[in-house]
């Protein structure tokens, strides 16, 4: 059995373990997201090992399935190196190259960069019924076509907000008419001197509105419809993961 097959089996074990406990990776991805301009031949992802011992690392991309393995999916990218050993305290550059298969030319495409870290077996350890914990990290990769109508910095200002209410209470809905994915760090309504924060979102999909998509934010402390002077105060994350503050009117 080769190293790739062994690591793939470890991935399946990892998914079972992650369902029962929270694990802490020691190989750090030195960015919170990756932006791939179509005009670039490749982009790089920098890794750093905080481990006290060598580890085996595997990297791959997927289209959003958090249970993906390197053998699954038809991804138009090549990741180099796909599998490697990292020594304690060392850094590693992983290259991602677009292979040219057609992707939507008028909006960003979203993929996920995966990193699986498997600790080396301790010296003198016996093979057999030993449990080795693997650690998995994922960050977003945005493939950005060239010649989009305007820059990504303009996207938050073009979002369209509206008030909504249902049996769960008051909320806001945002529509994204732009070709960019917009990720929110915070959303709140300022109304009559009071701030009403959105309900904390757990899945990452509840913090990002896709091109042409809609996203609802529940406002649990808002007991009635906002007034005509209400504004939405929100923070988005830019290409470097930096929080940017914005403000918009909430239409009546």
Model confidence at 226, pLDDT cuts 50, 70, 90, reads: confident
Separation between Cα atoms, residue 37 and residue 147, nearest integer Å: 10
Q: For the segment 106-116, what is each residue's pLDDT rounded down to a tens digit?
A: 999 999 999 99
pLDDT at 60 over 90: yes
pLDDT at 5 over 50: no
Domain boundaries, the chain: 3-144, 152-249
Q: What is the pLDDT of residue 130?
A: 57
Round to the nearest angstrom and report the end-to-end CA distance of the chain. 64
3-class secondary structure per residue, 141-191: EEEECCCCCCCHHHHHHHCEEEEEEECCEEEEEEECCCCCCEEEEEEEEEE
pLDDT at 120 over 80: no
Q: What is the pLDDT of residue 251?
A: 83
Separation between Cα atoms, residue 180 and residue 104, nearest integer Å: 12
Instruction: Enumerate residues 6+ apart whose C-beta is below 8 A from 211.
Output: 107, 108, 176, 178, 179, 180, 181
pLDDT at 127 over 60: no
pLDDT, mean of residues 122-140: 70
Fold designation for 3-144: Immunoglobulin-like (2.60.40)
Separation between Cα atoms, residue 220 and residue 226, nearest integer Å: 13
Q: What is the pLDDT of residue 68?
A: 86
3-state DSSP call for residue 19? coil
CATH superfamily for domain 152-249: Immunoglobulins (2.60.40.10)
Kindly state the tokens that stand for 100. 């040219």
Q: What is the pLDDT of residue 223?
A: 85
pLDDT, mean of residues 192-211: 84
Q: What is the pLDDT of residue 6?
A: 45
3-144 and 152-249 share one fold = yes
Q: For the segment 15-37, what is each residue's pLDDT rounded down to a tens digit?
A: 433 433 344 568 999 999 999 99
pLDDT at 246 over 80: yes
Kindly state the tokens that stand for 237. 């994350």
Model confidence at 40, pLDDT cuts 50, 70, 90, reads: very high
Which has the closest alpha carbon to 42: 143, 156, 188? 143
pLDDT, mean of residues 162-175: 88
Largest CA distance in the chain: 71
Q: What is the pLDDT of residue 250?
A: 87
Contact between 194 and 218 under an 8 Å Cβ cutoff? The reply is: no
């Amino acid at each position: 059995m080769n190293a790739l097959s062994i690591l793939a089996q470890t991935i399946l074990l990892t998914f079972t373990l992650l369902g029962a406990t929270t694990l802490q990776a020691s190989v750090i991805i030195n960015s919170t997201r990756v932006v791939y301009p179509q005009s670039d031949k490749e982009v790089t992802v920098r890794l750093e090992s905080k481990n006290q011992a060598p580890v085996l690392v595997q990297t791959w991309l997927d289209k959003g399935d958090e249970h993906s393995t390197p053998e699954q999916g038809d991804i138009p990218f090549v990741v180099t190196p796909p599998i490697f050993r990292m020594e304690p305290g060392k850094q590693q550059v992983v290259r991602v190259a677009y292979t040219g298969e057609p992707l939507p030319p008028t909006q960003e495409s979203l993929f996920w960069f995966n990193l699986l870290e498997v600790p080396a077996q301790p010296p003198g350890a016996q093979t057999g019924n030993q449990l080795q914990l693997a650690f998995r990290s994922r960050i977003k990769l945005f493939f950005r076509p060239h010649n989009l109508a305007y820059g990504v910095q303009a996207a938050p200002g073009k979002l369209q907000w509206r008030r909504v209410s249902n049996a769960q209470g008051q909320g806001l809905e945002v529509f994204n008419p732009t070709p960019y994915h917009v990720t929110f760090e915070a959303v709140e309504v300022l109304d009559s001197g009071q701030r009403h924060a959105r309900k904390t979102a757990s899945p990452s999909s509840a913090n990002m509105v896709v091109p042409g998509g809609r996203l609802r934010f529940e406002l649990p402390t808002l007991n009635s419809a906002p007034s005509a002077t209400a504004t939405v105060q929100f923070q988005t994350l830019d290409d470097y993961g930096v929080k940017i503050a914005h403000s918009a009117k909430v239409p009546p």
